[in-house]
A and B are shown apart, each in its own frame.
Chain A
Amino acid sequence: MTSSAKQILRYRPTEPQDQFASLRKELEQEIQPEGVIERTYVDDIDHIIWDIKCLRRYKTQIINRSRNEALKRIILQLLCDRDFDDPYGQDKRDAAADLARRWFEDEEAKTEVGELLRKFQMDEGAIEAEAFRVRLDDLERLDRMLAALEFRRDKALSCLAGYRQMLSKRLGQAADRILITTRCPA
């Protein structure tokens, strides 16, 4: 392999190197590649699995990060539901933002939000749902990427299996040829 092909290219250069290296080691132990082509496939599978891991991690973080925004939106909606004169006034926005911020660190705020949610027959699942809704476009893109990567991983594995099968067939044919052409000692 050339230097640039061998280079460890992670999703981001600051990703933990030891985890990437241990994944590589595990794969090599499992597949035991022989020759450049098999190593190329293992290299590809290695990158794909790493990418899948990274994207799954980012997906969770993206949802977690949108929780605050989701909470703010839900609280604002709950606070404004009955006020037809000034449904989304600045004071309500500030109160929603403050309550959403405190929800992450303050037990009282958590109880307050819980009561508010219960008043409208909702629970904390509504926050999760809103967090999803806020980032639905991003999550859909991530899912499409994950599906494409999983498809590529399976394809690379089947290509590797096909290559091995073909190689063993060729080796078998070569062995047969040798057996036919070589005279056995009398």
Chain B
Amino acid sequence: MASTRQIEANRRNARNSTGPRSTSGKKRASQNAFRHGLTKRIVSAEFDREVETLARQIAGDTENIITIELARGAAEAELELARVRRVRAALIERVDAFGRFDPPKSYQTPEYEYYYSKLVQEFCTASWWAMKPAVDPLPAMPSQEPQRTAEAVRRILPELVKLLRYETRAAARRDRAIRAMNSAV
């Protein structure tokens, strides 16, 4: 257990740790909890217009405010579903093209990687070069379809599982709203 002196010292030190002070530091720290951004509510005039149009179609010709509000919830969830499907397709496309999301971690930038490989090629013998471990530990993507897409899907399965969970929640929100709307009429 910590002594009183230790607790006091800890408190004194904690007073100095007040987080980032510069504007850029604060901006960076504000994104600390950011993962995929899907749970963030979309705020855009276009999205709101789409929600309103779909909500009107779902609600039909009623003027009941509660029904319209519930239809708005259903519409929002339905558009979220469309969004998550777009995100999923885009992620698979990206991995299909590059084989991964991030560049290999051995180098800070692709330029470093390029210059390092040039340097090694210039100064080292072929046998030494052949003994070097591969920069990219992932095997090459298959060149033929549909194996290529299957491999891309396999590589991002953890992300796909999360997206599916998100999609399921959006569908449940929509179903709940439609059920409530039906009972409210």
Chain A residues proximal to chain B, CB less than 8 Å: 1-2, 4-5, 7, 9-14, 35-37, 40, 44, 47, 55, 57-58, 61-62, 65, 135, 138, 141-142, 144-145, 148-149, 152, 155-156, 159, 162-163, 166-167, 170
What 11 additional pairs, Cβ within 8 angstroms, besides A5-B79, A9-B85? A5-B78, A7-B82, A9-B89, A12-B149, A13-B93, A35-B60, A57-B146, A141-B157, A148-B164, A159-B179, A163-B182
Contacts of B174 in A (CB 8 A): 40
Contact status B164-A65, CB under 8 Å: no
17 contacts between A and B (CB under 8 A): A1-B54, A1-B57, A2-B79, A12-B89, A36-B58, A57-B146, A58-B154, A61-B147, A62-B151, A62-B154, A65-B150, A145-B157, A145-B160, A148-B168, A156-B171, A163-B182, A167-B182
Q: Which of B168, B178, B183 contacts A152 (CB 8 A)?
A: B168
The complex places the Cα of A166 from the Cα of B174 at a distance, in Å, of 17
Does any Cβ of A come within 8 Å of B145's Cβ?
yes
Contacts of B93 in A (CB 8 A): 12-13
Contacts of B145 in A (CB 8 A): 14
Q: A36-B58, A57-B146, A166-B182 are in contact. Are A10 and B89 (CB under 8 A)?
A: yes
Contact status A37-B178, CB under 8 Å: yes
The complex places the Cα of A65 from the Cα of B178 at a distance, in Å, of 43
Q: Which of A35, A40, A144, A162 contacts B179 (CB 8 A)?
A: A162
Contact with A along B130-145 (1 / 0, CB 8 A): 0000000000001001
The complex places the Cα of A166 from the Cα of B182 at a distance, in Å, of 7
Contact status B171-A138, CB under 8 Å: no
Name which residue of chain B comes closest to A64, CB basis.
Answer: B147
CB distance from B83 to the nearest CB of A (A): 8
The complex places the Cα of A40 from the Cα of B81 at a distance, in Å, of 11
Contacts of A11 in B (CB 8 A): 88-89, 92, 153
Q: Which of A13, A135, A149, A159 contacts B164 (CB 8 A)?
A: A149
